Amino acid sequence: MNYVTDTHSLVWYFTEDPRLSETALNAFENTVDEGTIFIPAVVLAEIMFIAKKGRIAISFEDTIKKIEENENFKVSSLNIDILKIADKIETDMEMHDRLIVATAKYLEASLITKDENIRTSEIVLTVW
């Protein structure tokens, strides 16, 4: 199965943070043998930003290194099709969340997220 990850889920997975739910952890782990974790480019941009501010326990460089070390992770570029999907999302959410949700919709993948607003919107299937 394929998944898209949001920022906190990816950071918590890479830092083995106990805030990552067991279901989310299983989603990440299950793709080691089969499937892909897609990482929207906006997630990496957010990690770069919050890492420089010291708000997370992993650097941007270490995040990239972990992605490159694992074949089940792929970065998803922002493209015009994802932007068109994001433009049609009517739920009130921040821009980066809208782009993450649109990426999951575009890739027809479940989204690993704790974000209650995204989960209750039911725009895409979510895992938490």
Instruction: Quickly list DSSP for 49-80.
Output: HHHHTT-SSS-HHHHHHHHHH-TTEEEEPP-H
8-59 pLDDT tens trace: 999 999 999 999 999 999 999 999 999 999 999 999 999 999 999 999 999 9
pLDDT of the residue at 49: 97
Query: CB neighbours (10 Å) of residue 90?
Result: 8
CA distance to 81, 112, 119, per residue, from 116 (Å): 25, 12, 5
Which of 97, 103, 99 lies closest to 119, judged by CA? 97
Q: Which residue has the tokens 């920022």?
A: 7
pLDDT of the residue at 89: 96
Percent of the chain scoring above 70 in pLDDT = 100
pLDDT of the residue at 71: 95
pTM of the model: 0.95
Secondary structure of residue 54 in the 3-state scheme? coil
Mean pLDDT of the chain: 97
What is the set of domains in the chain, with CATH numbers?
3-120 (3.40.50.1010)
pLDDT of the residue at 101: 98
